[in-house]
Chains A and B, each alone.
Chain A
Amino acid sequence: MSFLKFFKKSIDKKSFEQLLADKEKQDSSEQPQSKETIKRSLHENLKKIREAFGNSSDIVTREIRIGRQGEIRVGIIYTDGLINSEANHNFVMESLMFELRRNEVDLKDLAGLTLLNYIKEMVLTVGSIEDVHDFNVITNAVLSGKVVLLFDGYEQGFAVEMKGGKERGVQETTTETTIRGPREGFTENLRVNTSLIRRKIKDHRLWIESKKVGKVTKTEVSIMYIKGIVREEVVQEVRSRIEQIDIDGILESGYIEELIQDDSYTPFPTIYNTERPDIVAGHLLEGRVAILVDGTPFVLTVPSIFVQFLQSPEDYYQRADISSLIRFLRFFGFFTALLAPSLYVAITTFHQEMLPTQLLISLAAQREGVPFPAFIEAFLMEIMLEILREAGLRMPRAIGQAVSIVGTLVVGTAAVDAGIVSAAMVIVVAFTAISSFMVSSYDLAITVRMLRFVFMGLAASFGLFGIILGLVALVLHLSSLRSFGVPYLSPMAPFTLADQKDVFIRLPRRLLIFRPRVFSSQQNTKREKSLFQNENQRKKK
């Protein structure tokens, strides 16, 4: 307690004003310098750029001469590794150095164009060229994979789009595997990711908005939605929440997720993340917004509801009856993963009368000689399970397997043989662990793992009464959550009858004519009819 007090005081001592001042100082240092246009002298410009990057070895600044006599000096600046150097050689360098000389053009008479316009319009055989005048724009362009051309004697340059370099290709997802369904997964490249979605939804109403987030990392964040299906308020909300982000770096979509979620103090995920383009496409078609972050294969979709974390894309690829059964099983798995150890603790320590006599006697026999109360026993085993799981994750893959074998087989059996835990407890814990793998979303599985301990504590102190109390509190908490304006428990609470077709069961596709009401805009709820048809109908009315 005294330690806490001391800690608190030490914080208080630092005056609030001082903190503010510190922050301002930081801010000013991070702010981009005021506009600084480039000079006429190429030499000066290049020197300034080199200085700005601290002579970093990967920034290439090269001077070349073009023209018949090499009368014009050109500076080429790019980041090695970020650009496609082959294309740079072929379409920029070769055009400038070779074509210009071979054609023997008179640089004084350029078909009525200025030199720069001539180069831009008739020499450079590349797609996107921007005019640049400002040093900050130049540095940004260099860092985002463009080749910048500066001309001696001109206060203007070009930024040529030349993105390239080594990247991971489209591979099979490892976190979300299905038996049936597309294998491809997102990559770290935003452009590849948007193209993967574009390939699935070939419609001009699939809109993408992009924004740079992160003062230092300047990470590109895109939001994607289908105009006409999505609710405009949701898009507006996503836009404004992303705009409000004030942070120096975004390294993963998890940063964005934490910064834009509705409620930070909940164990439940209110934003869905996935590595699979087919899931994102499905969500977009239901009227959700996807948030793509450059540099991570994990794409966020909002709004998200509770049941969707227990659904799998495969539910829609398999036949409806099988999917419904498996979905039921998944819900069952969710509850056993959450409650199995606590139910065991509650029943064996408080409500022995609920067990069949034979089972009670057999359980009692197993507990003979076990030194710990059932709760401690369960707690130890669960902790051990979590340690094994986490250790297996962080280990190199080959060792990870060995860890799990040692953990499960050796430690488990040895613990039972030594009489430290009862065999029934090992069964319960193993069953819990396996059920928790049934929860398809990793985020929800973590939540379940956390809450399991809370429920075990409640069960150990209040029995079934405590478990019920915990469940009531859980439902209350869940119904208080919202994800971008959509109640987290919908369509159960508030109850929407039409949406029940795809919650606990999945009805055959023929019956799923309507989009989920909670996500899509009110006008376009029919899946089958095209958006245009609907618009025409509205006009007629």
Chain B
Amino acid sequence: MKFKKMLLFAVVLLLLSGCWNRRELNTIAIQVGLGIDKEGDQYVVTSQIVNPSQIAMLMSKGDKTPVMTYQEKGHTIIEAIRRMTTAVPRRIYSSHLRILVIGEELAKEGIGEVLDLLSRDHEMRTDFYITVAKDAKAGDILKVLTALEDIPANQLFNSLELSDKQWALTISVTLDQLLSDLSSEGIEVKLTGISVEGNQQVGETKANYEQIDPEAKLKFKGIALFHQDRLIGWLDEQQSRGLHYIIGKVHRTIEEISCKNDGKISIDIFSAKSQLKTKMHKGNPVGEVHIEAQGNVADVQCKNLTITNTKTIRKIEKKTEEKIKQEVEKVLSNVQQNYRVDAFGFGKALYRDDYKNWKKIKKHWKETFTELPIKTTVDVKIRRTGTINNPPLNKLED
């Protein structure tokens, strides 16, 4: 009898559980992109949602766009997202979020509140990239259709990942990295900017990817510098690379140096390490950046250059070192003088090495940083010169 009762309870339990968080795949709306802008005192949330039947090869009829965006306003982000249910027939599912775009206006006001929801919600994974819309609204960025990848958010995700590895002018930041930078002492947040190039109106229609050269393209551009959670300015391409050298995030990039005459040599930097230190010298902090880079000769346009000669290689190395040093010093002085924020983490370095002194100067670190003398040393090694020796141009001239 006891066994029977137990069995009955077990069966009832099974039935009563009701599968509380069960959701079938065709009852969820997979949100891949999220854009947040601010308008007055309200957030404008744009959600890019996949239209699965248009993505799958076999089912695709091509009569609808592969993604759809929904836009709602609300005093909080979650309110706006929930309000979307009035327009979206399915539950918005955010675990597969690929990219978060923060509007420039909002970034200027501060992104702290936005991050709270994103990190508090259990459904959000932390592996999506965060970018700032440059000269555009976040909503507009998410509305542009792309050709190569059906899902624009996916295209952004992949191209950011790739350019971070190959070009080193963008910075891929995930939520956990952002939160860690935000909460650390002596370092500031940096995010990649994204903008629409071309005609926004056409970009929002299928006509955009029906052309070989889309009218509107999404492009990563520059790096947004933050002070705490507020956007304070943008770094251009050159300076972005300098910044990457300093923080040791250059995976691969191209450096150009000029020849004696006209023409250029491209060096393919495939490895760059940086050592960033802050030491106390006579009671004052001194910054030190040492960069060690390795590269291959990728492209030679110079005439009469015997590249097989080791002396030439030394010269090229020297020139590249100077070039990198220039770039680095330029961004250092620019950030120190114009933005006055420690985007590089010199403070963090001091915090690690010499916590006692850090505590002393912590309060007026912003002022100290602008005056901080920084010594830059660069060491470049050329490893290979490619599959040919001297440039074929040499012979043409003869």
Question: Which residues of A line the B interface, CB within 8 A?
Answer: 348-350, 352-353, 357, 360-370, 373-374, 457, 460-463
| Cβ 8 A contact of B55, one of A349, A362, A457 | A362
Q: Which residues of A contact B96 (CB under 8 A)?
A: 352-353, 357, 360
Could you tell me the distance between the alpha carbons of A350 and B98 in the complex, rounded to whole angstroms? 20
Shortest B55–chain A CB gap in Å is 5
Say yes or no: is B148 at the interface (Cβ < 8 Å to chain A): no
Contact A369 B26 (CB under 8 A): yes
Task: Report the separation of the CA atoms of residues A363 and B25 in the bound assembly, to the nearest whole angstrom.
Answer: 8
List B14-29 residues whose CB lies under 8 Å from chain A: 14, 17, 19, 21-26, 28
Known pairs A357-B32, A357-B98 / 11 extra A-B pairs, C-beta < 8 Å: A348-B24, A349-B19, A352-B28, A357-B30, A363-B25, A364-B52, A365-B52, A368-B52, A368-B59, A373-B24, A460-B19
Residues of chain B within 8 A (CB-CB) of A461 are 14, 17, 19, 22
Flag whether B50 is at the interface (Cβ < 8 A). Answer: yes
Give A32 Cβ to nearest chain B Cβ, in Å: 41
Selected contact of B17 from candidates A349, A366, A462, CB within 8 Å: A462
Q: Kindly list chain A residues whose C-beta atoms are within 8 Å of the C-beta of B93.
A: 352
How far does the Cβ of B23 sit from chain A's closest Cβ, in whole Å? 6
State how many angstroms separate the Cβ of A380 from the closest Cβ of chain B. 15
Q: Is B154 an interface residue when CB atoms closer than 8 A count as contact?
A: yes
The answer to whether residues A367 and B25 also contact, given A352-B95, A352-B96, A353-B96 and a CB cut-off of 8 A, is yes
Q: Complex formed: what's the CA distance from A349 to B25 in Å?
A: 6
B-to-A contact residues, CB < 8 Å: 14, 17, 19, 21-26, 28, 30, 32, 50, 52-53, 55-56, 59, 93, 95-96, 98, 123, 125, 151, 154
- Residue from A366, A457, A462 in contact with B56 in the complex, judged by beta carbons closer than 8 Å: A366
Cβ–Cβ contact B28 & A364, under 8 A: yes
Q: Are A361 and B52 in contact, CB atoms less than 8 angstroms apart?
A: yes
Specify which chain B residues have a CB less than 8 angstroms from the CB of A367 in the assembled complex.
Answer: 24-26, 52
Q: B17 and A374: CB pair below 8 A?
A: no
A52 vs B55: C-alpha distance when bound (angstroms): 82
B22 touches A349 (CB 8 A): yes
15 pairs, CB–CB < 8 Å, chain A vs chain B? A349-B19, A352-B23, A353-B96, A357-B98, A361-B30, A361-B50, A362-B56, A364-B25, A365-B59, A366-B59, A367-B25, A367-B26, A367-B52, A368-B53, A463-B22
B130–chain A nearest beta-carbon distance, Å: 17
| Chain A-chain B contacts (Cβ-Cβ < 8 Å), number | 76
Shortest B202–chain A CB gap in Å is 26
CB B116 to nearest CB in A, in angstroms, measures 20
Given contacts A353-B96, A357-B96, contact A365 B53 (CB under 8 A): yes
Q: B17, B56, B98 — which one has the most chain A CB atoms within 10 A of its CB?
A: B56
Measured CA separation A367–B151 after assembly (Å): 19
B373 CB → nearest A CB, Å: 48
CB distance from B41 to the nearest CB of A (A): 33
- CB < 8 Å: which of B52, B59, B123 contacts A353? B123
- A374 and B25 within 8 A (CB): yes
Inter-subunit contact B21/A350 (CB<8 Å)? yes
Give the CA-CA distance A366 to B56 in the complex, in Å: 8
User: Which residues of the other chain, A, contact B55 by a CB distance below 8 angstroms?
Assistant: 361-362, 365
Chain B residues within an 8 Å CB radius of A365: 52-53, 55-56, 59
- State the CA gap A461–B12 with chains docked (Å): 12
Alpha-carbon separation in the docked complex, A353 to B31 (Å): 12
The 8 closest A-B pairs by CB, nearest first: A365-B56, A353-B95, A365-B52, A364-B52, A367-B25, A364-B25, A367-B26, A368-B53
Give the residues in chain A near B154, CB-CB below 8 Å: 357
Task: Output the nearest chain B residue to A363 by Cβ-Cβ distance.
Answer: B25
Q: How far is the CB of B291 from chain A (nearest CB, A)?
A: 36
Task: Name the CB-closest residue of B to A424.
Answer: B25
Q: Considering the chains assembled together, what is the distance between the CA atoms of A365 and B53 in angstroms?
A: 5
Measured CB to CB, the closest approach of chain B to A352, in angstroms, equals 6
Q: Using known A-B contacts A353-B125, A357-B32, determine if residue A368 contacts B26 with beta carbons closer than 8 Å.
A: yes
Q: Are A457 and B14 in contact (CB under 8 A)?
A: yes
Please give the distance in Å from A463's CB to the nearest CB on chain B: 8
Cα(A373)–Cα(B27), bound, Å: 10
| Distance, CA A369 to CA B25, complexed state (A) | 11
Q: What is the distance, in angstroms, from B60's C-beta to the closest C-beta of chain A?
A: 8
Measured in the bound complex, the distance between the Cα atoms of B52 and A362 in whole Å is: 7
Which chain B positions have C-beta within 8 A of A370?
26
Cα-based distance from A305 to B59 in the complex (angstroms): 49
Q: A357-B154, A361-B55 are in contact. Are A374 and B50 (CB under 8 A)?
A: no
User: A459: shortest Cβ distance to chain B, in Å?
Assistant: 10
Instruction: Tell me if B14 and A364 are in contact (CB < 8 A).
Output: no
Which residues of chain A have C-beta atoms less than 8 A from B19's C-beta? 349, 460-462
The answer to whether B52 touches A349 (Cβ under 8 A) is no
Enumerate chain A residues within 8 angstroms of B32, measured Cβ to Cβ.
357
A364 to B53, CA, bound (A): 8
* Nearest A residue (CB) for B22: A349
What separation, in Å, do the CA atoms of A373 and B123 have in the docked complex?
A: 22
A353 to B128, CA, bound (A): 13
Q: How far is the CB of B386 from chain A (nearest CB, A)?
A: 36
Q: With A and B bound together, what is the CA distance between A339 and B32 in angstroms? A: 30
Residue of B nearest to A362 (CB): B56
Q: How far is the CA of A129 from the CA of B258 in the complex (A)?
A: 116
Instruction: Give min CB distance, B178 to chain A, whole Å.
Output: 20
* A374 / chain B contacts, CB cutoff of 8 Å: 24-25
For the complex, what is the distance from the CA of A349 to the CA of B91, rounded to whole Å? Answer: 13
Bound-complex Cα distance A368 to B60 (A):
12
Q: Which residues of B contact A373 (CB under 8 A)?
A: 22, 24
CA distance A360 to B59 in the complex (A): 15
Hey, which chain A residues are within 8 Å of B123, CB to CB? 353
The answer for the CA separation of A463 and B18 in the assembled complex, in Å, is 12
Residue of A nearest to B59 (CB): A365
Contact partner, A364, options B17, B30, B95, B98, Cβ 8 Å: B30
B17 engages A360 (CB within 8 Å): no
Which residues of the other chain, A, contact B28 by a CB distance below 8 angstroms?
A: 352, 364
Determine the distance from Cα of A353 to Cα of B17 in the docked complex, in whole angstroms: 22
Closest to B19 in A: A461
**Residue in A365, A461, A463 whose Cβ sees the most chain B Cβ within 10 Å:** A365
State A357–B56 Cα separation when bound (angstroms): 13
Beta-carbon contact of A364 and B21 below 8 Å: no
- A366–B58 Cα distance when bound, in Å, is 9
Residue of A nearest to B125 (CB): A353
By CB atoms of chain A within 10 A, which of B22, B28, B93, B123 has the most? B22
Closest to A369 in B: B26
Cβ-closest chain B residue relative to A356: B96
B25 and A350 within 8 A (CB): no
CB atoms of B25 and A348 under 8 A apart: yes
- Chain B residues with Cβ under 8 A from A368's Cβ? 26, 52-53, 59
Closest beta carbon of chain A to B52's beta carbon, Å: 4
User: Given the complex, which residues of A lie within 8 Å of B23, measured CB to CB?
Assistant: 349-350, 352
Give the chain B neighbours of A361 by CB distance below 8 A: 30, 50, 52, 55-56, 151
Q: Determine the residue in chain A with the shortest Cβ distance to B32.
A: A357
Hey, which chain B residues are within 8 Å of A366, CB to CB? 56, 59
Q: Bound state CA distance, A457 and B19, in angstroms?
A: 11
A472, chain B: closest CB distance, angstroms: 15
Q: For residue B150, which residue of chain A has the nearest CB?
A: A361
Closest to B93 in A: A352
Chain B residues with CB under 8 Å of A463's CB are 21-22
**Whole-angstrom distance between the alpha carbons of A481 and B25 in the complex?**
40
Alpha-carbon distance A350/B125, docked complex (angstroms): 15
- The interface residues of chain A lying within 8 Å CB-to-CB of B24 are 348-349, 367, 373-374
Among A348, A364, A369, the one with the most B-chain Cβ atoms within 10 Å of its Cβ is: A364
A394 to B50, CA, bound (A): 48
Chain B residues within 8 Å of A363, by CB: 25
The complex places the Cα of A460 from the Cα of B95 at a distance, in Å, of 20
Q: From A360, A457, A463, name the one whose CB has the most chain B CB atoms within 10 angstroms.
A: A360
- Which one of B17, B26, B93 has the highest number of Cβ atoms from chain A below 10 Å of its Cβ? B26
Closest Cβ of chain A to B118, distance in Å, is 15
Q: How far is the CA of A348 from the CA of B14 in the complex (A)?
A: 20
Q: How far is the CA of A223 from the CA of B381 in the complex (A)?
A: 82
User: For the complex, what is the distance from the CA of A77 to the CA of B25, rounded to whole Å?
Assistant: 77
